[in-house]
Structure 1
Amino acid sequence: MSETTSSPSPTFSGSKPLRLPGFIDQRGLGGFQLRTVLLCGLVMLLDGFDTQAINYMAPAITQDWGVSKGAMATIFSAALVGLMIGYLLLAPLSDKFGHKRPVMAGVALFSLSTLVSVWAQNPDQLMILRFITGIGLGAATPSTIALTAEYSPKRLRASLVLAIYCGFSLGFVAANYVAGWLIPAHGWRSVFVAGAVLPLALLPVLAWQLPESVSYLLRRGENARAYAVLRRIDPTLPETDTVRIEAESSDPGKRVKVTELLSGRQLLGTVLLWLVFALNLAMFYGLQSWLPTILTERGYSAGTLATAASMTTIGGIAIAFAVGPAMDRLGAYGSLSALYFAGCGFLVLMGLVLGSPVWMVLASIFLIGCTISGGQKSVIALAAAFYPEEVRSTGIGWALGIGRVGGIVGPMIVGGLLAGGIGHEQLFMILVVPTALCGLIVLYLGHRAKRLQLA
């Protein structure tokens, strides 16, 4: 059965080389590419599950071991530090090892360390294991996104990158339900079992079905393997391995260095993109950390707090169905900047409805989630479009790693503002400033990209 869609494929002439990324951009989204995207989405879902599950296990761990909140905070932080190491140090290794092996190695590492966590006997052991888990999670994500971007036609690239990152958010939701089901019946260690068995079961499927980056194969001089992958995209290509393939970034033997992100025309764009990542994650984690406290102080029930916690995630997933196609069809920069500017209004609305009926507050939180959680997913899709294939994994990894700095300091800043006497309403008005700044930066990056294309 043919794996291509019903849309006609461009006529191939054996006398001409195949050119990337045009070969993929000119074809429909076939079964081979859909399987690749699905596998990447499953990796992201399991990544999100493992990242979030520890938060739902924390009360049971604290009660079982009698540890302080400070000790649990150290365990949480260990995974974040591991994530940053994975993003910053392991993502650039995709140049040497391709994308498939980092994905599989990352999945193997975080699943095995999660499995060993079942037998952890004290907070120190669990902290070390969570650190190792974070490294695995951070190693897999950038290459997963890079593979999705490479095998997606340009007209669908942002939508599909957003789709797999929604898998990360769905992993958060799944962790909530799985922990709620397993912990009362089997104890908190059973959640680690679930978080390990599922990715371990996925590993042989990844080894069998997940493709390697075509551009990486070309840089390695493996033209025959690269052509075999392209024939899986378009089976109408002739059965030969002598067809020449050209890519924008396929110079044989070329090594990509992190410094390429900070040189020439990339420097300003990279720094500004990092700033958007950091500001967005600072707002996301700042609100996620302190929103329950704010709602409690305003007299809302515990049930409202639980619903509110899921509203930001649901908002981020829901908006992906709109902003992804908009980024593909109307332009990535303009669509994302419009989302941030709309978020300014949603934050103002939240400040105005505090103290109002529950449905108004939850609706406002949902809209904020569309901006903050949805913006975080969308800026990853923007990074996938911003960086060329040869530095895409490294660029995304470093953007995620630098962004984590914002995720760490965001809760501190929001907590400092509240401790300093800032009112709840004023806090949401203050958050308008970084949101508007994100919109302005993305808008400027769009104008700059057009100017560089014309230069």
Structure 2
Amino acid sequence: MSLETHTVRLPEFVDDRPVGRFQYGVIGLCGLVMFLDGFDTQAISYAAPHIAKEWGLTSAVLGPVFSSALVGLMIGYLALSPLSDRFGHRRMIIVATAAFAVCTLGAVWAGGVEELMVLRFLTGLGLRAAAPSCVALTGEFSPKRLRATFVLVIYCGFSLGFVVAGLVAGWLIPAHGWRSVFWVGALLPLALVPLLVLFLPESPVHLIRRGADRERIAGVFRRIDPSLPGEPAFAAPAEDTGRRAALSSLFTRHRVLGTALLWFVFAINLGEFYALQSWLPTMLTDLGHAMSTVVAATTLTTVGGIAAAFVTGPAMDRLGAYRTLGVFYLAGAVFVAATGLAFGAPLWLLMTANFLAGCAISGGQKSLIALAAVFYPASIRSTGVGWALGIGRVGGILGPIVVGGALAAQWSARGIFLAMAVPVLAAGLAVLFLHRRYAEEAPT
């Protein structure tokens, strides 16, 4: 075959080669963006009590600030993630990172609730415009055999951002005030932007679809394999949908059932996650546990999610993404129910059950994002992941409301957790149905 007729095809080019330093660099940069995303998302929670005290407000008055951020997150997922498939993942990541950094910096000089609410809304837009693009770009530079693992790795960066935000807030706020946390949350992503400009590549699929200069495309491929010969032609994945609007591609006759089931599972998982994060401290406090126990138990849910990723990621790649996650959710239903039964048990048993429930709920969320990255082809991956997270946010809003209603109706903590196990069971069955319908047709 002559050099001129040699064709480089995606995703086979990435799938057939070992993961190199360049790809690890891409994944590392996406992981850093996700880490800062998590830090900025959580920072307001630690700053809020101090803002209320300085401005002479009740904590309830800051409710709209949290709500505005959630609205921004949802719109960012639904409205902005499709732009990544249109304008390129690299450009979206850079612009979104700079945007949420600037808006976070603006919060340093906020003088009132209305101003802070607008800034948090805009910050939410930037935060959630970046995440689906990071997932999509990571998936594109990962071989199929490791795709779920690498997506889980960068999403662990998001959870680590949550944890570090608490550590930094505990260190800085007493000495330097609440604004210091926003300084850190703004300056770190601003410092990352030049590195993204210099070292983050554009999506090869996007370049091929948009008819970019052949040398520019070849430059990306040669950073993966310097031995790439001559002046090859380039072919996008067979399922590429460049001529179809990315959003409508989620609802093709072949894909509509899978999209609907993914949204269903995302809504369940996010509903469970936010219900757990919102009400577990209250439940434990009402049962007379010390604050140190409450903090430790709540933190264990995040730690459990990170720990689970080290198991589910490789299992999804080796044993199949659908089967692994389906079985994981079925086990998770048992763990959530066991947490309810453990409320009257010795503390060590309650902590163990809570850790395992965190593995199922927080770890399940990360694994579900990896499943979405497997389900959708590269050409619509950002849109597919973004819309699944956006629609799932409806569950995240309803979950705490439903549990709050159950508490108001005098449900016990044990009864609530036993009830929460049922939707997790339904999620497991839905994923196993996806396995039966789509596992043999997993896109590239």
User: TM-score, normalising length from structure 1?
Assistant: 0.94
User: How many Å separate the matches in 2 of 1:155 and 1:13?
Assistant: 29
Match of 1:312 among 301, 313, 318: 301
Aligned residue in 2 for 1:337: 326
Aligned residue in 2 for 1:99: 89
- 1:80-229 paired onto structure 2 within 5 Å: 80-222=70-212, 223-229=214-220
Contact 1:95 1:255 in 2 (8 A): no
User: How many Å separate the matches in 1 of 2:17 and 2:242?
Assistant: 29
Matched residue type, 1:69: S
Match of 2:291 among 284, 288, 302: 302
Matched residue type, 1:273: L
Structure-2 change in CA distance of 1:26 and 1:431 (3 Å)? same
- 1:384-403 paired onto structure 2 within 5 Å: 384-403=373-392
1:31 maps onto 2:21 in alignment: yes
How much has 1:351 moved relative to structure 2? Answer: 1.6
Contact 1:336 1:439 in 2 (8 A): yes
Contact 1:46 1:195 in 2 (8 A): yes
How much has 1:12 moved relative to structure 2? Answer: 11
User: How many Å separate the matches in 2 of 1:161 and 1:12?
Assistant: 37
User: How many Å separate the matches in 2 of 1:304 and 1:157?
Assistant: 37
- 1:234-249 paired onto structure 2 within 5 Å: 234-238=225-229, 240=230, 242-248=231-237
SS in 2 for 1:18: strand
Structure 1 gaps of 5+ residues are 1-10
User: TM-score, normalising length from structure 2?
Assistant: 0.97
Match of 1:383 among 362, 367, 372: 372
Structure-2 change in CA distance of 1:352 and 1:449 (3 Å)? same
Structure 2 gaps of 5+ residues are none
Match of 1:354 among 343, 356, 359: 343
User: How many Å separate the matches in 2 of 1:309 and 1:219?
Assistant: 45
Contact 2:3 2:232 in 1 (8 A): no
Matched residue type, 2:95: A
SS in 2 for 1:262: coil
Aligned residue in 1 for 2:64: 74
Q: What is the CA RMSD across the aligned residues, in angstroms?
A: 1.6
1:418 maps onto 2:438 in alignment: no
Aligned residue in 2 for 1:16: 6
Contact 1:87 1:139 in 2 (8 A): yes
1:443 maps onto 2:435 in alignment: no
Structure 1 stretch displaced more, 137-146 or 218-227:
218-227
Aligned residue in 2 for 1:429: 418
User: How many Å separate the matches in 1 of 2:131 and 2:253?
Assistant: 27
Matched residue type, 2:307: A
Measured against aligned partners, the alpha-carbon deviations of 1:319-356 in whole angstroms (never above 9, x if no partner) come to 10000000000000011011111111112211221132
SS in 2 for 1:431: helix
Structure-2 change in CA distance of 1:183 and 1:250 (3 Å)? same
Contact 1:107 1:136 in 2 (8 A): yes
